[in-house]
Amino acid sequence: MLSREQFIITFYKWCQAEADAEIVSNYTRLESFGNEDTLDALRFLRLLAPRTQKLILNSRVRCFNRDMASLAGDPPTDEDEAMNNEFIDGWRYQRNARIIRLEPTCRQKVKKSISVGRLRSALEHSLVSYVTNALIVRASSKAMFIEHGWEDYVLRTHIEFSSRPTGSLLYYQSLLSHGEPLLRSSSIQAWLGISGMTTWTDLTEEGVGQATATLAGIVQYYLEQVTLMSKA
């Protein structure tokens, strides 16, 4: 079994490898979210050469995981901070351009919100396999909590959902070892260096099934990966 420090270093290297793989796939997973904020980030990245995309995302992963990166002997540098700022500026520009471009349409068309009950039903359907071997499954009108355990590890998955002002989902996962936090509030956009939160927004009846299926696939993948790391 890996020591705490070895696990953190292994996880940090995994995050960097995941970011590299996402670039090679042309951001297949991130694009599947349909989240406009995420798509704005991808529009900016795709304007850049692949090598520059890699440099920026690797810098973002370092900046999001400063303690992990330092432990791995790869702390953020001034150059990382500069690339991080370049990414934020480019992302902000793409977001503002989209808002200006769509403003006339937005005034005329108001999206119909999906109900909380429908969101919860879609989540329960998509997460059937994920909860099969869970130790704890709790659900309320606006959230789900799922806990898996093996050996001395516990993985907690938190999912929040809302219908106001429009349908939305948010998730994160936390890993504990011997009852102590090991990885806090981790989600795919954080591993890949995009942002600290992973959300789906403006969900419609037509798109909710794909969103919940994508979320279910991501949390299952993370469970499998951290389980493998813990047993290395």
Mind listing the pLDDT tens digit for each residue in 164-182?
Answer: 778 899 999 999 999 999 9
Which of 100, 139, 90, 109 minimizes the C-alpha distance to 202? 109
Of 34, 210, 205, nearest in space to 126 by CA: 210
Dist CA 198 CA 211 (whole Å):
12
Range 71-92 average pLDDT: 95
Maximum mean pLDDT: which of 86-100, 148-162, 182-196 = 148-162
pLDDT at 107 over 50: no
In this prediction, residue 61 carries a pLDDT of 94
Distance, CA of 182 to CA of 210 (rounded, Å): 31
Query: How many CB atoms are closer than 10 A to CB 105?
Result: 8
Band the pLDDT of 33: cuts 50, 70, 90: confident
Task: Confirm if 209 and 32 have CB atoms less than 8 A apart.
Answer: no
pLDDT at 105 over 60: no
- Give domain limits for the chain: 4-230
Q: How far apart are CA 52 and CA 205, in angstroms?
A: 38
pTM: 0.92
Identify the pLDDT of residue 2.
83
pLDDT of residue 106: 52
- Among residues 168, 162, 137, the alpha carbon closest in space to that of 37 is found at 168
CA 30 vs. chain centroid, Å, equals 8
Sign of CA dihedral 183, 186, 188, 190: negative
Q: Please say whether the beta carbons of 176 and 189 come within 8 A.
A: no
Question: Could you read off the pLDDT of 12-29 as tens digits, one per residue?
Answer: 999 999 999 999 999 998
| Residue 45 CB neighbours (<10 A) | 23
Residue with tokens 């789900």: 144
Lowest average pLDDT, out of 47-56, 80-89, 140-149, 194-203, goes to: 194-203
